[in-house]
Amino acid sequence: MPHNGTASIPLAMFILFVSAKIMAELAERLHQPGIVGEIFAGVLIGPSVLGWLAPNEFLSAMSDIGAMFLLFRVGLEVKSSELMKVGGTALLVACSGVVVPFVMGAAIMLLWHQGVNEAIFVGASMVATSIGITAQVLSAKGLLQEVSSKVILAAAVIDDVLGLLVLAVVSSMTHGKTDVLQLSLTALLATAFTVIVAKWGSHAVGRVLPKLNETLRVAESRFVIGLSLLLGLAVLAVSTGIAAIVGAFLAGLALAETSGPRERDLAQGVSEFLVPFFLAGIGLKVDLSAFGQLSTALLALTILAAALVSKLIGCGVGALRLGRTEAWRIGIGMVPRGEVGMIVAQIGLGYGILTRNSYAVIVFMSVATTIVAPPLIKIAYRSAAARGAAESPDEVLRMG
């Protein structure tokens, strides 16, 4: 049967998936994390270089779902009680990791003689860490059980709630009057949702899941329940204003103590298939055409440097009580901005506050931080990786 209408979808999937994996292979051979190759693949096949694919609704949906499964799988490997234990440090890391990049980004824009509103929006777009990249590197290297990894994960969740607040404040400051009551309610709701699920989700699942599972006759019922929880919490997260991936992560956390190897393998299958869409999808959004102007290119490099240094300092200082090695790891782990910065930039563009050039600068910064961070993470965790290589169950499975 001719299915011409759907021809473009298998083709787009083939191009994206195979390019991502070829570039991942290349990166591994250059002793770089495969993830960097997959993001690069997106830049390469995207509009700026080869022009084989452009971002579209289908690819962006696949990318969103890929990010959800990535965080779900990471959540499955972490105990929420252990995240709670590092909650204080994570809160400090998240807060100073929001303030420093915001101030630094806005200051640079003002020094660059841009308007106040534009400076505020660029600062805001540098605030939120995109946890997917770091989580993928740590998970692939079997490093999720390190203390610093747990601080990074917890701080990234808090960071997402803070990012929601920053964006809300910035939007009302630059675009309309600030409704303090509304803002406080949003913050309260997002915080309550996150804390309740993180604190009691695992307990609730532990009580309900075994009984439910015994009753159900549907095939692979444990995995089906897991997927339902993943999708349900993603919906709730979005409706309280935070990212779907935070909901997916919380679902993973809640299931971490009750899931068996079978469910983990099935989830792993989905994430192996979809995560390349998330990674290459980031690269696909780069538009290099704005950098023909030298001044824009210089601004982009300055903002990139600020994005790196500000998270390193902000988050690192927040984590100093854990010692310098851990503080360094945490600072680097919080560097990637990914799609979150781009969303803020899109809103600014939509409001008419950001120019096309500033938008391109932010997209460049977001993508470049995701490419620069993984090799740095690899270096920062070198001692831990050497120690953990033989004992990690993740690595053993990979051999199979």
Instruction: Name which position in 181, 218, 294, 386 contacts a second copy (CB under 8 A).
Output: 218
DSSP-assigned states of every residue in 205-254: HHHHHHHHHHH--STTHHHHHHHHHHHHHHHHHHHHTS-HHHHHHHHHHH
CB of 253 closer than 8 Å to CB of 198: yes
Angle between helix 324-333 and 294-318 (nearest 10): 140
Does position 268 bind a second copy by CB under 8 A? Answer: yes
**CA–centroid distance for 350 within its chain:** 23
Residues 22, 32 contacting (CB under 8 angstroms)? no
Helix segments in the chain, DSSP class H: 8-29, 34-45, 57-76, 80-85, 87-111, 116-125, 131-140, 147-175, 180-215, 221-240, 244-255, 261-284, 294-318, 324-333, 338-350, 356-380, 382-388, 393-399
Tell me if 262 contacts a second copy by CB under 8 A.
Answer: yes
Under the binding rule (CB under 8 A), the answer on residue 397 touching a second copy is yes
From residue 6 to residue 25, the character string flagging contacts with a second copy as x (rule: CB under 8 A) and all else as - is xx-xxx-xx--xx--x--xx
CA separation for the pair 335, 315 (Å, rounded): 9
Q: What's the token pair of residue 371?
A: 């490419």
Q: What is the dihedral of CA 84, 88, 91, 93, to 10 degrees?
A: -110
Q: Looking at beta carbons only, is 75 or 316 nearer to a second copy? A: 75
Count of residues interacting with a second copy (CB under 8 A) = 69
Alpha carbon distance 40, 26 (integer Å) = 11
Nearest to 338 by CA among 245, 251, 228, 224: 245
Verify binding: residue 28, a second copy, rule CB under 8 A: yes
When asked if residue 39 is in the footprint of a second copy (CB under 8 A), the reply is no
- Cβ count within 10 A of residue 356: 12
Binding mask 344-363 for a second copy (x = CB under 8 A): x-------------------
Q: Nearer to a second copy by C-beta: 147 or 342? A: 342
Residue with Cβ nearer a second copy (147 or 362): 362
The torsion defined by the Cα of 377, 378, 384 and 389, in degrees rounded to 10, comes to: 140
Told to check if 65 binds a second copy by CB under 8 A, we report yes
Among 213, 239, 289, 295, binds a second copy (CB under 8 A): 239
From the list 98-106, 306-314, 322-330, 392-400, the region that binds a second copy by CB under 8 A is: 392-400
Single out the residue of 232, 289, 379, 382 in contact with a second copy (rule: CB under 8 A).
232
Q: Name the residue nearer to a second copy (CB basis): 147 or 233.
A: 233
Which of 104, 109, 227, 290 forms a contact with a second copy (CB under 8 A)?
227
The DSSP-derived string for 77-99 is TS-HHHHHHTHHHHHHHHHHHHH
Q: Interface with a second copy includes 267 (CB under 8 A)? A: yes
Q: Which of 45, 46, 64, 153 binds a second copy (CB under 8 A)?
A: 64
Alpha-carbon torsion 164, 270, 133, 62, what sign?
Answer: negative
Please calculate the CA angle 150-152-155 and round it to the nearest 5 degrees.
105
How far from chain centre, in Å, is Cα 101? Answer: 17
Nearer to a second copy, 213 or 295 (CB): 213
Q: Is 95 in the site for a second copy (CB under 8 A)?
A: no
* 340 scored as a contact of a second copy (CB under 8 A): yes
252/283 Cα distance (integer angstroms): 26
Q: Output the smallest distance, CB 221 to a second copy, in A.
A: 8
Q: Show the tokens assigned to 262.
A: 């079978």
Among 94, 138, 158, 167, binds a second copy (CB under 8 A): 167
- Least separation in angstroms between residue 301's CB and a second copy is 25
179 forms part of the interface with a second copy (CB under 8 A): no
Residues between 135 and 164 with contacts to a second copy, criterion CB under 8 A? 140, 160, 163-164
Smallest distance, a second copy to C-beta of residue 396, A: 12
313 binds a second copy (CB under 8 A): no
Q: Which residues bind a second copy (CB under 8 A)?
A: 1-4, 6-7, 9-11, 13-14, 17-18, 21, 24-25, 28-29, 34, 57-58, 60-61, 64-65, 68, 128, 140, 160, 163-164, 167-168, 216-220, 223-224, 227-228, 231-232, 234-235, 238-239, 241-244, 247, 260, 262, 265-270, 272-273, 340, 343-344, 397-398, 400
